[in-house]
Structure 1
């Protein structure tokens, strides 16, 4: 489908569906370390590989972090589509970052997003994780979608940024600082809700904190990707049904099934 047709369909969606929107950007780490096998379900082959400056034992079988992340994302989309309110309100886009940042799923009506992109972890031996570039791109996409809502007279709630990484940011320090400052301004002005999620023991918690001045980063328990995305979809459904655009509140009881604080 040509770009002009996509723009035309997107505008028609905004006109024909007056429900208040919740724009959500999944900003996801696809660096080489996301090929790591967690949870002891792999068979170690004895090789040692170095990714992101850290050494790992190579595994010949098992399910990797990136595979489980793909499963969780599919679960999220299925849950949203099955809710009569959320499927008209929630709009999702996806950004991946490794040695570059890229939008792999633009905003659209979720019923048209039939084919969800399959994330593939980078084979780059350097294990680059350009988090600042990824966050900046995600913010650009959220701002552009908000402008489309305004142009079409469609109400919207606070945008959500879901940032997930299993390593340290190692892109441009200048770009990273720009992203951090943009987040600080937007959070301070109640223009965005950030969910910072650390995967594995080597995730850069201190870096994630800089991207989330209001909410403490949470560490994903081993292989609890589906549980996390079920939690996120439940939050989206609750927001879309209530029409409440105010601050997202999370209780300890909400996260105990999948997170470590």
Structure 2
């Protein structure tokens, strides 16, 4: 991909730190309306605050958001208004220290497969940018959160691709089901871990605290070091 955004490239190369890219793939379908989307937004704000409080993680972790509510789209995380943007890895990712949580709204269907494909595309593009500019990076994370089941026809192919890339150590996928989510499809998106389940929407902030703590642990590690993630006490693990 041709890199044409001078500001984004300067932002990338002026920071000498090793990077840890993460894409949050978030269900914003109609079923998330009301308290669920409010709690999700609050959790993302907590996530941003926690990462900014860690001086090293704030420089090493890079965040992008993909939502799926009616369609799959990359979201602006620089301005905080939640607008859709072009799916360009040069602008979709921001360092955690400049991450501005968007105000997400819920509507539409649940094209989970399209959203995961978009998230994987963004991660591939971002890794290519790191390589082009000689920037070392940790294995990317894709965090998939949904309270429903996929409504797009290609979701199983997207799940196959996610599992393949994970088996090749190209990404770590963390599927999360909320309340009455169908855990069967979510389980298909990772080859390494069973989906975790939030027992209530009130657990979103605990979930995002775990995510920021886990990313901080990775960001503060040394290359090749095994990192023990915090215990996910906020969720139930589906053993199937």
Q: Structure 1's 245 and 224: CA in aligned 2 closer, same or farther, altered over 3 A?
A: farther
How many aligned positions are there? 219
Gaps of 5+ in 2: 77-91
- 2-structure distance, mates of 1:233, 1:67: 19
CA shift for structure 1 position 260: 1.3
Q: CA deviation at 1:152?
A: 0.8
Q: How does 1:92-111 map to 2 (within 5 A)?
A: 92-105=63-76, 106-111=92-97
Contact 1:30–1:120 (Cα < 8 Å) also in 2: yes
Shift of 1:117: 1.4
Distance 1:248 1:30, change over 3 A: farther
Of structures 1 and 2, the larger Rg is shown by: 1
Q: Cα RMSD over matched residues?
A: 1.7
Report the Cα offset of residue 111 of structure 1.
2.9
- 1:162-177 superposed matches below 5 A: 162-172=143-153, 175-177=154-156
Say which SS state the counterpart of residue 144 (structure 2) adopts.
Answer: strand
Q: TM-score, with normalisation over the residues of structure 2?
A: 0.86
Q: Alpha-carbon deviations, 1:181-221, whole Å to 9, x = none?
A: 211211111111111110012x0100001001210101113
Tell me how far 1:141 sits from its aligned partner: 0.5
Structure 2 equivalent of residue 136 of structure 1 = 117
For structure 1, list consecutive stretches of 5 or more residues without a partner in the other structure: 37-63
Q: How far apart are the structure 1 equivalents of 2:227 and 2:63? A: 17
Contact 2:51 2:97 in 1 (8 A): no
Q: Deviations over 1:113-171 (max 9, x none)?
A: 3x32111000x4xxx10000000000000111111111111000110000000001011
- Between the aligned partners of 2:36 and 2:42, the Cα distance in structure 1 is 10
